[in-house]
Amino acid sequence: MQHTSLDPSPTAFPSIDDRERYSRQILFPGIGEEGQRRLREAHVGIVGCGATGAAAASLLARAGVGTLTLIDRDFVEPSNLQRQVLFDESDALEALPKAEAARRKIAQFNSGVQVRSHVSDLVPENIAALLGDAPLILDATDNFETRYLINDFAVEQGRPWIYAAAIGAYAATMNILPRPASGADAAWEPTACLACLFPKPPSGPVETCDTSGILSTAVNLAASLQVTETLKFLTGQPERMRRSLISFDLWTSERSEIGAAKPRTGCTVCGQRSFTHLEGADRPHITLCGRNSVQIHEHHRPVDFAAMRDRLTPHGQVRFNNLLLRFERAPHTLTLFADGRAIIQGTTDVTVARSLYARFIGN
Q: Annotated catalytic residue: which of 49, 193, 196, 209?
A: 209
CA atoms of 228 and 217, how far apart (whole Å): 16
CA atoms of 321 and 166, how far apart (whole Å): 31
Are 210 and 292 a contacting pair, CB within 8 Å? yes
Question: Which among 116, 281, 274, 262 is positioned nearest to 193, based on CA atoms?
Answer: 262
Would strands 254-259 and 244-249 be described as parallel, antiparallel, or unpaired? antiparallel
Question: Which among 279, 2, 252, 236 is positioned nearest to 148, based on CA atoms?
Answer: 279
Q: Give yes or no: 267 in active site.
A: no
- Please count the other Cβ atoms lying within 10 Å of the Cβ belonging to residue 137: 24
H-state helical runs in 183-304: 194-197, 209-212, 216-234
CA atoms of 152 and 150, how far apart (whole Å): 5
CA atoms of 202 and 349, how far apart (whole Å): 21
H-state helical runs in 95-143: 98-109, 127-131
* Cα→Cα distances 207→210, 220, 269, 361, Å: 8, 19, 26, 31
What are the catalytic residues?
209
